[in-house]
Chains A and B, each alone.
Chain A
Amino acid sequence: MSAAVSGDTILEQRGVQRALDAFVVAAAFSRDGKTVAFVLGNGTVRLVDLADKQNWRDVAAHDGAILSLAQDGGSSGFITGGDDGKFRRILADGTIADIFSAGSRWVEHVASFPGEKGKGLLSCSVGKLAHVFDDTGRKLKTLEHPSSVTGLVFDAKGKRVAASHYNGASIWFVAAKKDSPRKLEWKGSHIGIAMSPDGDAVMTAMQENSLHGWRLSDNQHMRMSGYPGKTLSLSFTKGGKWMATSGADSIVIWPFTGGGPMGKAPTELAGGDDITCTRVLCHPLQDAIAGGFADGLVVLADIGSARVLPIAKAGRGSVSALAWSADGTHLAFGTETGFAAIVDFTK
C-alpha cells in the first residue's frame, strides 16, 4: 500500500465522475478507444468521448433495463441487449439501430469479435438460442442449447463462440457448415463463462459459488471451490498466465502456468475487509487487475508486487461495471446505485 495515495485521490485527481440515476449494468470502450459507454437499468446509455470528458451524452436506447453491452464489431460504437427483447447497435454519435428483435423474450447476453470492413462478428443470446451475425447485422446462424444461455464469449481469434448453460458449456465453430457443438459437460448450473487467450481453457462460474473448467487440449477438468459468493466475474490476464475472479473478500487469482491452476494455491489481493469482490477485470497489457467491491471500493492490484492502489473509496454502491480502454490508459467503472467514473492513468 502506498502511504501517499489513499481513498479518492486517484478519482479526484485523474477522474471524471457522475451520479447517474440508475443501476450501471455495464461499461465498455469502443475499439478505437475514443468513446466510453455506460448502460443503465433505466434503458439509457451514457456516451462519453475521451476527448471531451465533461460531456456525458444521454441516449434512450431500450424500453426497460439494458442487460448487456459489448463493443461493436467495427472500430466504433457498441452493441446492447435489453429486457425489451431488442438487440441494438449504438453508434458513437448516439444513433441507434436494431439488429434483431426477440419479441417478448429478454436479450440477456451479447458478445462481439472485431473485424475490418464487415468481417466482425456479433452475437446475442435469447433463452436457449445464441444468434450469430456478421458486422452488418446479417444473421449467420442460430445455435440452440439444451437450456438458457448464461454466458457468451468469442475466442481470441473469432473462430469459435462458447456458451455456458445448465450441465456445462457448448463450443461452436462460427464458420462450420453444419453446426454441431463440442459439448463440455459437468453436472450443475453454470452461470457465466470465460475463455483463456490461447483458447485452450474454458472456465465457468457455477451456482454453488465455485468454478469449473475444461482444458480442451487434453480434456482435463478443473474445479475450484471455497468461494463465499458467486464467481460471476472472470477475467484472464493478457498472456493468459492468470485468471482473476470475484466472489471472495479479495481479488482471487489462479495461476494458469506450470500445470495450474489444479493443485496450486490462488493468490489473494486487496483482501481483509470482509467485503465481497463483485467485479474483476485484468489490465489489457500488464499483469494487473482492477477490482470492484460490494461497498463501492475500486482498486488496481499489481500481481507481481501485490501492491494495491486505491482508485475510489467505499460508499457509492456495489461495483457492477468495469472496463479498460484497449491501451490500458483509462478505466471506467460504475455501481448499482448509479455512480459512474472514468479514470485516466496517462502522464
Chain B
Amino acid sequence: MSDASKTNDQVPVTVLTGYLGAGKTTLLNRILTENHGQKYAVVINEFGELGIDNDLVVDTDEEVFEMNNGCICCTVRGDLIRIVGGLMKRQEKFDGIIIETTGLANPAPVAQTFFVDDNVRARTRLDAIVTVVDAKHLPARLQDSTEAAEQIAFADVIILNKTDLVTEDELVEVERLIRQINHFARIHRTMRSDVAITKVLNQGAFDLNRVLEAHPDFLADEAHEHNEDVTSMSFEVENPIDPERFNAWIGDLLAQKGQDLLRTKGILSYAGEDRRFAFQAVHMIADGDFIGPWKVDDERKSRLVFIGRNLNRPQLRRGFEACQAN
C-alpha cells in the first residue's frame, strides 16, 4: 500500500454494473449488511429492497451529458458530479462511494466522470468497476446487446454469478467468453453474489501491478481476435519510455481510435525517473500520474493494456516500442 499516501484524502469509488437480474442488488445488499465497520454512500437509480443500516443511500436519475470539448465520445454523468459535490459537504467522511448503474448502462460515462470533472477528481478516485454477470444468460446477452460486452470490457472485477444454474462445462465456456473480451479482469465465481467484500471494494484496480499479480500470463497471446468484437491486448517494452514520445503517440492514438478503445491502462517506466507512471484512459479521455517509486527488485518494464474493438496488434506494438528512449 505504498501508493496510498497520494490518495488518502480521495474517497474510493466502486462502480457496480451488470444486467438486470444478474445479481447486482443482491451483491449490494451483501456489501451493505456485512459487518465491516465502514460507512458507504450508495448511489442508486431507484429505491430497491436495500437493507440499509449505517450507510447513506442517494436516489438519483442517471443523467448522461455530452461535453462540449470537441470529443464526440466524451460523456459524463451530470447527476454524479452534483452528488459528489453534495456528499463532500457532509460532515462525516465516507470510506467509499458505491455507484450502481442501471442494467443497460454503458459504463463509459460514469468512468469518464471521474476523469473529466476537476472537483470530482480532487475528492474521489475511481477504485474499480465491478460487473455482475449471470452465468446462465451471459452468452445470450452477448449475442443480443452491445452493452453486455462493454460492461465486461470495462470491468476490473467480474462477479460470475448464479454458477449453480450451469454445469462446469458451461461455466468454463462462459469464462472463456469473458476472457476473450477482457483478459485482465479478476473473475470470482459466485452463487447468490456471495463474494467477500474485500474482493469487491478497495481493489486499487487502476494500479496495474495488482492486475499483474493476478495474471502472471500478462503477455500471453489471446487465442483469436475478431475485429468487431471487444477484445484485449497487452504490450511490454524493456527500455525506459520517453514521456514526450509516449504522450504524442497515445494522444494521437486516442484522438483517432478513441471510440473503439474502451479502456487503456498502463504502468510506465520513464527515463530518468524513479517513480512509476500510471496511465489510464476511457475512450479519448486520458489521465496519468506518478504513483510511487519502483521497488528495488521490480523489473522496470513498461506495460500497456488495451481493451476495445478493431485493435491492430502489430500497429499498437510498433507504436509503443517507438516510445522507448534512445
Contact = CB atoms under 8 A, between A and B. Distances in A.
Interface stretch (B9-17, B62-70, B217-225): B62-70
A108 B47 contact: no
Measured as residues with beta carbon below 8 angstroms from the partner, the interface class of chain B is 20 to 34
Contacts of A148: 61, 63, 78-79, 82
A64 B91 CA distance: 8
Given A127-B61, A148-B79, A188 B68 contact: yes
A14 B301 CA distance: 61
Interface residues of A, number: 32
Nearest to A102: B59
Contacts of A43: 91
Contact of B66 (A66, A104, A188, A206): A188
A184 to B, nearest CB: 16
B59 A67 contact: no
Interface string A164-199: 001000000000000000000001110100000000
A300 to B, nearest CB: 26
Contacts of A191: 81
A22 interface: yes
A230 B116 CA distance: 12
Contact of A42 (B47, B59, B90): B90
A206 B68 contact: yes
A58 interface: no
B118 interface: yes
Q: Is the interface of B mostly helix, strand, loop or mixed?
A: mixed
A40 B89 CA distance: 8
A23 B87 CA distance: 11
Contacts of A42: 90-91
B90 A65 contact: yes
A106 B63 contact: no
A150 B86 contact: no
B4 interface: no
B250 interface: no
A106 B91 contact: no
A198 B76 CA distance: 35
Interface string B42-82: 00000100000000111101010111110000001011011
Contacts of B47: 104
B67 A166 contact: no
A83 B90 contact: yes
A159 interface: no
A65 B91 CA distance: 8
A13 B288 CA distance: 47
Interface in B269-300: none
B119 interface: yes
A166 B78 contact: yes
A230 B119 contact: yes
A233 B68 CA distance: 20
Nearest to B92: A42
A166 B65 CA distance: 7
Given A22-B91, A41-B90, A229-B118, A105 B78 contact: no
Interface in A90-114: 104-106, 108
Given A23-B89, A42-B90, A208-B69, 13 more contacts: A22-B91, A43-B91, A65-B86, A65-B87, A65-B89, A67-B89, A83-B90, A104-B59, A147-B63, A147-B78, A148-B78, A187-B66, A230-B118
A-B interface, 6 closest residue pairs, ranked by CB to CB distance from nearest: A42-B91, A41-B89, A104-B59, A188-B68, A65-B89, A65-B90
13 contacts: A21-B91, A40-B91, A42-B90, A42-B91, A64-B56, A65-B90, A67-B86, A67-B89, A83-B90, A104-B47, A166-B65, A206-B68, A208-B69
Interface of B: 47, 56-59, 61, 63, 65-69, 76, 78-79, 81-82, 86-91, 117-119
